[in-house]
């Protein structure tokens, strides 16, 4: 169970249950308290991922969990931005940019919670009817065990809609290598052909060395929270 506490406190407590098999690195303060949550047959890693998502829903602020050479870091994603521009006139040699609604795009959100005393399951819906008319109904169903009241459950549904009611973007860039770039880093992307001029998060980085030639392929994510 997760008590009422900030994300960083929950991470510290979760890792402490494993003992010296886990080494913590830099854990940034997250400030806002997360609500009580009863996890159902989930691993500690899934509990932490769920808590990062809950933190994002509460204050639209994203934190990155990453392995930093054997230590677990929890970093404010914005603080991982590098002074690096990748694009038409800087480093990039090719790119692929696609948009889709097939992966994690939803315009109809259902949040459900069991009322064991009454023997019923209450559901709370948030939807974008205009978008449903355009895409069809794309439903995301979430059953929560968190200690949330009716107003909080309605708010969770609305926040999930705000997060997921958009196209999923895939951006892959091939470019000149820079060893500072690792998963979790932030880079500025400027590609006029794709209409891109924004900060993006490195989801994965593959570095290739051939003699003195260093290149990298970056899979990037970006969105309203970044």
The 10s digit of each residue's pLDDT in 108-117 is 999 999 988 8
Where does a domain end: 121, 138, 164? 164
Nearest CA to 1 out of 35, 28, 32, 49 is that of 35
pLDDT at 70: 87
- In 44-192 the beta strands, taken as DSSP E runs, fall at 63-68, 71-76, 81-87, 92-100, 108-115, 120-127, 139-143, 168-176, 186-191
The 10s digit of each residue's pLDDT in 124-141 is 999 999 999 999 999 999
The 10s digit of each residue's pLDDT in 46-88 is 999 999 988 988 887 889 998 888 899 999 999 999 999 999 8
Specify whether 54 is located in the same domain as 144: no
d(CA 56, CA 54): 5
pTM, rounded to two decimals: 0.76
The 10s digit of each residue's pLDDT in 172-217 is 999 999 999 998 899 999 999 888 999 999 999 999 999 999 999 9
CA 18 to chain centre: 24
d(CA 13, CA 46): 14
CB burial of 137-168 (b: ≥16 within 10 Å; e: otherwise) equals ebebeeebebebeeebbebbbbbbbbbbbbee
Where does a domain end: 164, 191, 210? 164
Specify whether 159 is located in the same domain as 172: no
Total number of domains constituting the chain: 3
Specify whether 34 is located in the same domain as 131: no
């Amino acid at each position: 169970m997760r008590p009422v506490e900030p994300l960083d406190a929950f991470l510290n407590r979760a890792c402490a249950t494993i003992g010296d098999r886990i080494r913590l690195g830099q854990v940034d303060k997250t400030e806002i308290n997360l609500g009580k949550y009863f996890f159902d047959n989930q691993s500690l890693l899934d509990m932490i991922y769920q808590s990062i998502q809950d933190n994002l829903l509460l204050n639209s602020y994203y934190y990155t969990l990453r392995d930093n050479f054997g230590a677990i870091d929890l970093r404010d994603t914005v603080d991982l931005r590098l002074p690096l521009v990748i694009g038409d006139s800087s480093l990039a040699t090719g790119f692929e940019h696609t948009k889709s609604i097939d992966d994690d795009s939803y315009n109809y959100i259902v949040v459900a919670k069991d009322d064991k005393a009454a023997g019923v399951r209450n559901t709370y819906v948030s939807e974008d009817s205009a978008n449903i008319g355009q895409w069809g109904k794309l439903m995301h169903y979430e059953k929560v065990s968190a200690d949330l009241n009716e107003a909080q459950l309605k708010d969770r549904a609305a926040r999930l809609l705000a997060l997921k009611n958009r196209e999923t973007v895939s951006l892959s860039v091939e470019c000149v290598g820079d060893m500072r770039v690792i998963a979790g880093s932030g880079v500025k992307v400027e590609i006029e052909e794709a209409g891109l001029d924004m900060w993006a998060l490195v989801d994965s980085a593959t570095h290739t060395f051939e003699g003195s030639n260093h290149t990298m392929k970056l899979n990037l994510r970006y969105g309203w929270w970044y």
